[in-house]
Amino acid sequence: MSPSDIRSWNRDAWDRQVAAGQNQWTKPVSSDITAAAARGEWQIVLTPQKPVPRPWFGPAFPDIDILCLASGGGQQGPILAAAGACVTVFDNSPAQLAQDRMVADRDSLSLLTVEGDAADLSAFPNESFDLIVHPVSNVFMPELAPVWRECHRVLRPGGALLAGMCYPVTYIFDAAAEEKGELIVRHALPYSDLANLSADERKALFKDAPVEFSHTLEEQIGGQTDAGFLLAGFYEDNWSGGANRPLSRYMPCFFATRAVK
């Protein structure tokens, strides 16, 4: 698959995920959640469980411009908009963006949605945002360096990128065995659904789910510093209901960084 084919496949796959309504990242927040955010009672996640530390949003919050990058689904964007920030949600999936617009219309929130590729933020001028919120989604992107460069470009000086990521080791195991509770090493890293599984295996294991890629820590963390960021925060997290994920019994599977321009 070419990069454009991957983007098209993943766009359609996420649209199907929204229609199925089973994926936690496609389920919009309730009116109670946005009402609480308007009262100052709010939190968001970049990884499955752990809330982002409030200081990560900076002392000027909520009077800031936020880009929710690859963050559709009616979750982070509406909460931040209800809390008073000026929010743009950018995502590859029209159906995911429709979830954000639904919440905004339902709860009378001001929120902009833009469809596109995270590696190409040319829809935005230089230094457009004070903060970028980027939940775990780079696993659906074949290359990260262009994403980090674009994030650095559209942030204002002193702005921050808050990014959730996945440890690459989670991809070395045989997926079919893992579903049965076994950890069997099968794949070398970096991993790609396209390179490591046949089309029949992908269909059997993941049906019509998005194509995924692992990324090294050098790509994920070093790529941010190569783009010009300085790391200013870090934490780890694990799957929700981790008992159903064998590796989560032994180690955290996710981490998040705060990187400052």
Q: Are β-strands 230-237 and 86-91 bridged in parallel, bridged antiparallel, or unpaired?
A: unpaired
The answer to whether the Cα torsion of 236, 237, 242, 245 is positive or negative is negative
Q: With the CA atoms of 229, 231, 234 and 238 taken in that order, what torsion angle do they form, in degrees rounded to the nearest 10?
A: 30
What was the pLDDT predicted at 204? Answer: 60
Which residue type is seen at 258?
Answer: R
pTM: 0.94
Edge-to-edge order in the sheet of strand 86-91: 111-115, 86-91, 65-69, 129-134, 155-166, 254-260, 230-237
Q: What are the start-end ranges of the E strands in 116-243?
A: 129-134, 155-166, 230-237
Q: pLDDT tens digits, the chain, 261 residues: what are they?
A: 677 888 888 999 999 999 999 888 999 999 999 999 999 999 999 999 999 999 999 999 999 999 999 999 999 999 999 999 999 999 999 999 999 999 999 999 999 999 999 999 999 999 999 999 999 999 999 999 999 999 999 999 999 999 999 999 999 999 889 888 899 999 999 988 887 777 676 666 667 788 899 999 999 999 999 999 999 999 999 998 655 689 998 999 999 999 999
